Structure 1
Amino acid sequence: MSPTHYRLSTRLARHLRSVGRHLPERSLAEQVLAAQGLPKGSWASDLLKSLLDGRFERVAAEVGLWEWKYSFPAPGEAVVVLDVETTGLSPENNEIIELALIRLENGQLTVFERLVNPGMPIPPFISRLTGIRNQDVRDAADIYTVLGEALPLLDSATLIIQNAGFDLGFLQPRLQRLGYRLDNPVVDTIDWARKALPGLTKRGLDALAWAFDLGPVAGRHRALGDVETTLQVAREMYYMLTAGKPTPTSQLAAKAR
Structure 2
Amino acid sequence: MTGPPRLVDDPAFANTTLLVIDFEATTPAGHRPQPVEVAALGLRHVPGHGPQPTGFRSTSLIRPPDFAPVTSAMTRTTGIRPQDVADARTVDQVLAELDATVPAGPLLLVAQHAPVEASLLYDHRDHCPRLARTPLLDTRLLAKALHPLLPSFGLDALIAAFGLPRPADRHRAMADVDVTALLLRRLLTDAAAGTRYGTLADLLAVAGREARAARSEQQSLF
Find the aligned partners of 1:111 and 1:186 in 2 and give their Cα distance: 18
Q: Which one has the largest radius of gyration? A: 1
Asked whether the 8 Å contact 2:165–2:179 carries over to 1, the reply is no
Find the aligned partners of 2:107 and 2:22 in 1 and give their Cα distance: 15
* Structure 2 counterpart of 1:238: 188
* Structure 1 counterpart of 2:168: 218
SS in 1 for 2:177: helix
Structure 1 205/91 Cα, relative in aligned 2: closer, same or farther at 3 Å? farther
SS in 2 for 1:200: coil
Structure 1 247/199 Cα, relative in aligned 2: closer, same or farther at 3 Å? same
Q: Which amino acid aligns with 1:239?
A: T
Residue 171 (structure 1) aligned to one of 107, 113, 121: 121
SS in 2 for 1:158: strand
* Structure 2 counterpart of 1:41: none
Q: Given the two structures, how large is their TM-score scaled by the length of structure 1?
A: 0.65
* Structure 2 counterpart of 1:201: 151
Per-residue CA deviation, residues 24-82 of structure 1 (Å, 9 max, x unaligned), is xxxxxxxxxxxxxxxxxxxxxxxxxxxxxxxxxxxxxxxxxx99x779x9432211000
* Structure 2 counterpart of 1:95: 34
Q: Which runs of 5+ in 1 are unaligned?
A: 1-65
- Runs of 4+ aligned residues of structure 1 deviating over 3 Å after TM superposition are 89-94, 244-251
* Structure 1 counterpart of 2:129: 180
Question: Are 2:44 and 1:105 aligned?
Answer: yes
Q: Percent identity?
A: 30
CA RMSD of aligned residues (A): 2.7
SS in 2 for 1:75: helix
Residue 256 (structure 1) aligned to one of 186, 211, 215: 211
* Structure 2 counterpart of 1:17: none
Find the aligned partners of 2:43 and 2:112 in 1 and give their Cα distance: 17
- CA shift for structure 1 position 193: 1.1
Structural mapping, 1:58-77, within 5 Å? 74-77=13-16
SS in 1 for 2:60: strand
Find the aligned partners of 2:118 and 2:16 in 1 and give their Cα distance: 22
- CA shift for structure 1 position 90: 7.8
* Structure 2 counterpart of 1:33: none
Find the aligned partners of 2:92 and 2:13 in 1 and give their Cα distance: 31
Find the aligned partners of 2:103 and 2:151 in 1 and give their Cα distance: 32
* Structure 1 counterpart of 2:89: 141
Per-residue CA deviation, residues 175-202 of structure 1 (Å, 9 max, x unaligned), is 2x32726232211111101111112121
- CA shift for structure 1 position 114: 0.2
- CA shift for structure 1 position 134: 0.7
Q: Which runs of 5+ in 2 are unaligned?
A: 1-5, 46-51, 213-222
